[in-house]
A = this chain, B = another copy of it.
Amino acid sequence: MNEMRIGIIGLGNMGTGHAQYLAKGQVKNGVLTAVCDDRQERLEWARKELGEQVKTFANVEEFLGSGAIDGVIVATPHYSHPELAIKAFAYGLHVLIEKPAGVYTKQVREMNEAAAASGKVFGIMYNQRSNPLYRKLRDLIISGELGEVRRTNWIVTNWYRSQSYYNSGGWRATWAGEGGGVLINQDPHQLDLWGWTTGLKPKRMRAFCQFGKNRDIEVENDVTAYVEYENGATGVFVTSTTDAPGTNRFEVSGDRGKIVIEDGKLTFWRLRVPESEFNATFTGGFGQPECWKCEVPIQSGNGEQQHAAITQDWVNAVVKGTPLLAPGEEGINGLMLSNAMLLSTWTDNWVDFPIDEELFYAKLQEQIRQSKTTKVAGEYQTLNVQGTH
């Protein structure tokens, strides 16, 4: 295949963005040939803005079976990602899903199994993996420059959302509509990067979610989580939608020093000798390893091109057989952290990894049943709110 024919399902904010850069030819060897949405206004927009060569569909099956596409970008509401991806694989299509991979790991595991069985290229829109800051962090850790990781600490409280935001869509911040709050809507990138940059595997977690804190919503919007990793390291993740101004500060400590990402900068305090070596040989009582504050070059990056970069990576994988930067199968990792934080709160107890997916699913259903929200979840299908992430 020299050119990949791409379809998009879901023309909300994200799907519209993907359509626009594809229509502008910003993805080499990728051409937009079809879109699908059940909202007539979005299809009219597509006919007007994307040109006649892009077919429009209101019916999913017709779209997937049209023969007009080799792969599909799934940009629909969270809950439907796995279901649509599984359908697409059944039609022999390559798939790129928007984040999060889904709402609960049970459905995402099933999607991963379908992907593996299909042999198709399966990606996820973890565009932050193309952010040079996080790529450099991963590089410094995976290459061993930081030494074995001992501690992670991510304060990501800069997801401010007002009540007005929550009121802007009936599905928003409901268990039935979105399946969660800040963890499922705002944090998926950070939850992915937390594991992807460090390579750490969580062993168990204890987390503390607060629901509707300073907001009239039913889902979590303030979370503190503590994790113990398989290698003995520990970690903290703090997130919120009501802190103003919030913080986005990611600190990782290792045997060879400390790295902090904050304010769009990465700083590496590097030890001259590893701490473990210093500790084993030092005899002076007080004293600590010599440390250098290092300036590490970071490639300049354009945030707006990150989505196109992930799509390009997916197209390259299909056309050239190159490995994916963000394999779809890895979407379950960040989601499992998110699910674990809720589950630990609901059970008021530790959660071991991998989590009990059936228990989480049952607890989520319980939340949906007990929901007292007056919001109408179905609205999700008929609204297009610009600015959603």
Interface residues in chain A, defined as those with a beta carbon under 8 Å from any beta carbon in chain B = 150-151, 153, 155, 157, 160, 162-165, 168, 206, 208, 210, 213-215, 222, 224, 226, 228, 232, 234, 236, 238, 240, 242-247, 251, 253, 257-258, 260, 269, 271, 275-276, 278-280, 282-289, 291, 385, 387
Chain B residues in 8 Å Cβ range of A279: 162-164, 214-215, 242
Whole-angstrom CA separation of A236 from B237 in the bound complex = 10
- Contact: A282 with B162, CB < 8 Å? yes
Given contacts A151-B157, A206-B206, 6 further A-B contacts (CB under 8 A): A162-B285, A164-B284, A224-B236, A236-B238, A245-B269, A247-B258
A316 CB to nearest B CB, Å? 33
Chain B residues in 8 Å Cβ range of A288: 160, 162, 244-245
Chain B residues in 8 Å Cβ range of A210: 234
- Stoichiometry, as copies per complex, reads 2
Q: Which of A168, A224, A282, A291 has the most chain B CB atoms closer than 10 A to its own CB?
A: A224
A112 CB to nearest B CB, Å? 31
Cross-interface CB contact of A251 among B155, B162, B226, cutoff 8 Å = B155
- Contact: B289 with A165, CB < 8 Å? no
Cross-interface CB contact of A162 among B157, B226, B269, B278, cutoff 8 Å = B278
Whole-angstrom CA separation of A237 from B215 in the bound complex = 26
> Which chain B residue shows the least CB distance to A163?
B279
> Which chain B residue shows the least CB distance to A208?
B226
- Asked if A238 meets B153 with Cβ closer than 8 Å, knowing A245-B258, A251-B247, A278-B162, the reply is yes
> Which chain B residue shows the least CB distance to A280?
B163
Whole-angstrom CA separation of A258 from B243 in the bound complex = 8
> Which chain B residue shows the least CB distance to A270?
B245
A/B interface sample: 7 pairs, CB < 8 A: A153-B238, A162-B285, A162-B287, A165-B285, A208-B226, A208-B234, A243-B258
Cross-interface CB contact of A240 among B151, B165, B251, cutoff 8 Å = B151
- Contact: B238 with A291, CB < 8 Å? no
- Contact: B251 with A285, CB < 8 Å? no
> Which chain B residue shows the least CB distance to A207?
B226
Cross-interface CB contact of A244 among B164, B165, B275, B280, cutoff 8 Å = B275
Chain B residues in 8 Å Cβ range of A228: 208
Whole-angstrom CA separation of A163 from B160 in the bound complex = 44
Whole-angstrom CA separation of A236 from B226 in the bound complex = 10
- Contact: B157 with A385, CB < 8 Å? no
The 4 closest A-B pairs by CB, nearest first: A160-B288, A244-B275, A245-B291, A168-B285
A182 CB to nearest B CB, Å? 14
> Which chain B residue shows the least CB distance to A288?
B160
Chain B residues in 8 Å Cβ range of A244: 257-258, 271, 275, 278, 288-289, 291
Chain B residues in 8 Å Cβ range of A168: 285
